Chain A
Amino acid sequence: MSPQPNVPPAFELSISSEGDIVTARRTVRDAALKLGFSQTDVARIVTAASELARNVFRYAGSGVMRWRKVENGNRIAIELQFIDNGPGIEDVELALAEGYSTGGGLGLGLAGAKRLSDEFDIRSRIGEGTTITLRKWRRDEFQRTQSSRRGA
């Protein structure tokens, strides 16, 4: 992922129960709304968070979700990170393939979360755990209008 000139400290939520998946969704919703994301982007971000929080709980039993705002010039993103010390993903390519599932789901969890994100990174080691980091950049209509005016 691209370097970040301005990185505030991350907030953290522990994921160790089914209820924490709901808490993760609510937390991410509040954070994304506060950062000014559109309704549709909030739905995308929260849905990706729901998939990844559930994966942490189902496959690793427990882990944490971290979130923070990332700024690059005028651009703002939300960054979410899901960290567990679970069994790890044997074949990341395969896990990202649509329809692949070991958990009895639709096999769309990881692939879906990736599709909903602008940047998506998986680091996994067998027996050590998995860290997934995603970013969604805010699309700023106001800024776009301003810069096209300036260009005209």
Chain B
Amino acid sequence: MNSNQSNVSVVKIREILLVSMPSDPDDSTVAALQENVLAAMERFGAKGLIFDISSVETLDSYFARVISETAQMIALMGGRTIIVGMQPAVAVTATQMGLTLNDIETALTVDRALDRCAGNKEFPDAR
């Protein structure tokens, strides 16, 4: 396993966690992601999460389910989740398969997601 392709990076920007997904994670990495992200939300007292999936080349039903569930859990913790940077080919494939990332907010780029958070009173410190 190439570590470059399996590492999830989590960075805190003000009160938001920026989580960058590797291009081709195995199922264990995806499963661990959920736990790590929820723990990081609590540890950093984050108010929201930006999931950067711009490197992701394959979004299958398992990966989509974990992202969708994680967003639901974060909502239960009072946080907001924005999915960012889905590649066009991935978006076409996901739609054709019938994968819906239910009720999850999306943005084209991390910049736009951060701007949106900054403009929201839920994120008073993210300017």
Q: A47-B59, A50-B58 are in contact. Are A116 and B93 (CB under 8 A)?
A: yes
Asked if B24 and A26 sit within 8 Å, CB to CB, the answer is yes
Is the Cβ of A47 less than 8 Å from the Cβ of B58?
yes
Binds B, one of A60-68, A107-115, A138-146: A107-115
Given A115-B98, A116-B96, the answer on whether A51 and B61 have CB atoms closer than 8 Å is yes
Question: What's the Cα separation between A89 and B105 when bound, in Å?
Answer: 37
Given contacts A21-B27, A43-B89, contact A106 B64 (CB under 8 A): yes
Answer whether residue B15 sits at the interface, using C-beta atoms and an 8 A cutoff: no
- B-contacting residues, A41-56, CB 8 Å: 42-44, 46-47, 50-51, 54
Q: A29 an interface residue at 8 Å Cβ cutoff? A: yes
The chain B residue sitting closest to A46, CB to CB, is: B58
Task: Looking at the assembled complex, report how far the CB atom of B54 sits from the nearest CB atom of chain A, in whole angstroms.
Answer: 14
Bound complex: CA A39 to CA B98 (Å): 19
A25 CB–B CB distance under 8 Å: yes
Count of chain B residues near A, Cβ 8 A: 24
Q: How far is the CA of A99 from the CA of B51 in the complex (A)?
A: 25
- Chain B residues within 8 Å of A54, by CB: 27, 60, 62
Minimum CB–CB distance for A67 against chain B, Å = 16
Give Cα A51 to B90, complex, Å.
14
A40 with B24: CB separation less than 8 A: no
> Within the assembled complex, what's the spacing in Å between the Cα atoms of A106 and B89?
21
Q: Which residues of B contact A46 (CB under 8 A)?
A: 57-58
Chain A positions near chain B (C-beta within 8 angstroms): 18-19, 21-22, 25-26, 29, 39-40, 42-44, 46-47, 50-51, 54, 98, 105-109, 111-112, 115-116
Other CB < 8 Å A-B pairs besides A106-B99, A111-B98, 11 of them?
Answer: A43-B57, A43-B87, A43-B92, A43-B93, A47-B60, A98-B98, A106-B62, A107-B61, A108-B97, A116-B93, A116-B97
